[in-house]
């Protein structure tokens, strides 16, 4: 486990070394794994991680269904609501469906429309790790939406190197460090040998040089 002070030191160094920009950049970490066979599906990471302070950027969320779930979605100000007819229509518009899959990070769907989602949108959402979380009737989705707004998706597939967005340069370095700490603890928790499976970790801004923290 990397000490919080070391994480904060690396975050500050990465931000200081980055070229000055007139816009807010994302801050990401790169994690390199070792001594693990990623060809084995059981070793792959597919996790949604709640960040204590969010990413500093808007996270696109879409809700699929009708009735109560769409009413709650409007109250929660989700970015996109897709009804049953629209699900079917998008199935016949592969280009538009790909754009939706690329634009929105998290999808929630009423269990009643999941068969439609699988049939019409599965080929676009599945390969991108965007298949909706099924929501049973009567579930209040508002707290779920709020958590997702502060979450990141980590999906390694068969790669030993992967990137995770942990904040933006507009955020205090202390908040970014806390986010990184949360991500590393979660990743270590799902790896077979914990920290022994992590070769190195780097932090960088979008346009800046990488700073090693592990």
The answer to whether the CB of 101 falls within 8 A of the CB of 93 is no
DSSP-assigned letter for residue 50: E
- Tell me: the pLDDT tens digits for 126-183? 999 999 999 999 999 999 999 999 999 999 999 999 999 999 999 999 999 999 999 9
Q: Which residue has the tokens 């980590």?
A: 154
Q: What is the pLDDT of residue 43?
A: 95
pLDDT at 97 (0 to 100): 95
What's residue 141's pLDDT?
A: 97
Q: How far apart are CA 82 and CA 75, in angstroms?
A: 15
- Specify the range with the lowest mean pLDDT, choosing from 19-28, 112-121, 168-177: 19-28
Per-residue tokens: 75: 């109250």
Residue 202 scores a pLDDT above 80: yes
Q: Taking 90 as the threshold, does the pLDDT of residue 20 lie above it?
A: no
pLDDT of residue 186: 97
DSSP 138: T
DSSP single-letter state for residue 119 = I
Domain 61-148 homologous superfamily, CATH: Ribosomal protein L1/L10, domain II (3.40.50.790)
Query: What is the rounded distance in angstroms from the CA atom of residue 40 to the CA atom of residue 196?
Result: 18
From CA 207, how far away is CA 126, in angstroms rounded?
30
How much is the pLDDT for 1? 73
Distance CA 179, CA 166 (A): 6
Mean pLDDT of 14-43: 94
Conformation bin of residue 61: beta by default, left when phi > 0, alpha when psi is -120 to 50: beta
Q: What is the CA radius of gyration of the chain?
A: 19
Rounded (5°) CA angle 119-125-128: 145
**Sequence spans of domains, the chain:** 4-56+152-212, 61-148
β-pair partners for 161: 32
DSSP structure class, residue 78: -
Q: What global pTM score does this model have?
A: 0.92
SS (H, E, C) 96-115: HHHHHHHHCCEEEEEHHHHH
The verdict on domain 4-56+152-212 having CATH code 1.10.10.10 is: no
Q: What's the rounded mean pLDDT across residues 115-120?
A: 96
Distance (Å) of CA 97 to CA 54, 66, 155, 210: 27, 19, 21, 35
């Amino acid at each position: 486990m990397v000490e919080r002070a070391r994480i904060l030191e690396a975050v500050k160094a990465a931000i200081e070394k980055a070229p000055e920009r007139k816009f807010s950049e994302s801050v990401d970490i790169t994690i390199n794994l070792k001594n693990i066979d990623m060809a084995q599906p059981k070793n792959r990471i597919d996790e949604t991680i709640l960040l204590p302070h969010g990413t500093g950027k808007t996270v696109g969320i879409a809700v699929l269904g009708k009735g109560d779930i769409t009413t709650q979605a409007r109250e929660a100000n989700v970015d996109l609501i897709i009804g049953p007819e629209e699900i079917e229509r998008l199935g016949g518009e592969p280009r538009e469906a790909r754009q939706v899959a690329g634009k929105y990070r998290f999808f929630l769907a009423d269990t009643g429309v999941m068969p439609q989602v699988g049939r019409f949108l599965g080929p676009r959402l599945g390969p991108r790790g965007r298949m909706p979380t099924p929501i049973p009737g009567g579930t209040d989705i508002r707290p779920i939406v709020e958590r997702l707004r502060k979450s990141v998706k980590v999906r390694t597939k068969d790669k030993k190197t992967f990137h995770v967005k942990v904040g933006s340069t507009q955020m205090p370095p202390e908040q970014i460090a806390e986010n990184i700490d949360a991500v590393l603890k979660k990743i270590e928790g799902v790896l077979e040998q914990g920290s022994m499976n992590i070769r190195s970790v780097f932090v960088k801004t979008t346009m800046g040089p990488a700073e090693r923290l592990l």
